[in-house]
């Protein structure tokens, strides 16, 4: 059982780290995070052996947040709308968090918590896609992994001007989604990625 002050400090730390990572990317220093949390630097390393572990925990939380939303949307009776909202939520998370994409590239292979969250995300995306395809709204030649990868497309497109144009990602997400519709479909030049490629 953790002591009460340890629980409180861990909470402060997680919040501060999440905020710093979101605002400034995953290269913010531990010192800065500790200061923002109002705790000492050493305390950070009491809760997490390494900076990478801290980042992984936060990143994995974000992924689970999206998984949860996806599971709820999978029950919707408007499959196309559900898929679109899933993509909206996922893109918004990334648009708000500068560390998200960096974290995805940096530690998807090393941290097992992240690994399983990514699997769960792929699963729920697969369900949402299958539902939308069954309803005839979405082209048949795309997969759940396609959707997961496309989650970063719109937010990254606007990354260089995101401060001056918040919300612009919605414009490109709409364009991307237009490309996913059944009647937009043209043959794709490359097969979908395999689960093994995604998993790493």
Q: Report the C-alpha dihedral over residues 151, 146, 80, 131, rounded to 10 degrees.
A: -130
Interface with DNA (CB under 7 A), residue from 19, 24, 25, 30? 30
Do residues 156 and 101 lie in contact, with contact meaning Cβ atoms separated by under 8 Å?
Answer: yes
- Select the span of 15-23, 44-52, 98-106, 123-131 touching a copy of itself (CB under 8 A): 98-106
Pair of tokens at residue 14: 């997680």
Interface with a copy of itself (CB under 8 A), residue from 29, 31, 68, 184? 184
What are the two backbone dihedrals, phi and then psi, of residue 138, each rounded to the nearest 5 degrees? -120, 140
Buried b (16+ CB within 10 A) or exposed e, 63-100: beebbebbeebbeeeebbebbbbbbbbbbbbbbebbbb
Kindly write out the interface string for residues 34-53 of this chain, putting x where it contacts DNA by CB under 7 A and - elsewhere: -----xxxxx-xxx-xxxx-
Kindly write out the interface string for residues 44-83 of this chain, putting x where it contacts a copy of itself by CB under 8 A and - elsewhere: ----------------------------------------
Kindly write out the interface string for residues 152-181 of this chain, putting x where it contacts a copy of itself by CB under 8 A and - elsewhere: xxx-xxxxxx--xx-xx-xxx-xxxxxxxx
Kindly write out the interface string for residues 50-69 of this chain, putting x where it contacts DNA by CB under 7 A and - elsewhere: xxx-----------------
- 9 is an interface residue for DNA by CB under 7 A: yes
Pair of tokens at residue 42: 């050493």
Q: Which residues, other chains included, contact 58 with Cβ-Cβ below 8 Å and sequence gap of 6+?
A: 14, 17, 18, 21, 99, 103
Catalog residues that contact a copy of itself under the rule CB under 8 A.
Answer: 101, 104-105, 108, 142, 146, 149-154, 156-161, 164-165, 167-168, 170-172, 174-181, 183-186, 188-193, 197-198, 200
């Amino acid at each position: 059982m953790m002591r009460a002050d340890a629980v409180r400090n861990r909470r402060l730390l997680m919040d501060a780290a999440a905020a710093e990572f979101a605002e400034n990317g995953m290269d913010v220093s531990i010192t800065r995070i500790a200061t923002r949390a109002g705790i000492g630097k050493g305390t950070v390393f009491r809760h997490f052996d390494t900076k990478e572990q801290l980042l992984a925990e936060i990143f994995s939380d974000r992924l689970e947040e999206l998984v949860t939303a996806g599971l709820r949307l999978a029950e919707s009776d408007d499959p196309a709308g559900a898929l679109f909202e899933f993509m909206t939520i996922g893109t918004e998370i990334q648009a708000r968090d500068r560390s998200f994409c960096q974290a995805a590239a940096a530690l998807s292979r090393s941290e097992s918590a992240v690994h399983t969250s990514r699997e769960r995300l792929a699963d729920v995306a697969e369900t949402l896609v299958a539902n939308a395809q069954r309803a005839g709204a979405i082209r048949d030649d795309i997969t759940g992994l396609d959707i997961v990868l496309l989650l970063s497309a719109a937010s990254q497109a606007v990354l260089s001007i995101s401060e001056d144009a918040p919300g612009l990602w919605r414009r490109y997400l709409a364009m991307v989604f237009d490309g996913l519709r059944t009647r937009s479909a043209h043959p794709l030049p490359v097969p979908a990625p395999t689960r093994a490629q995604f998993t790493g």
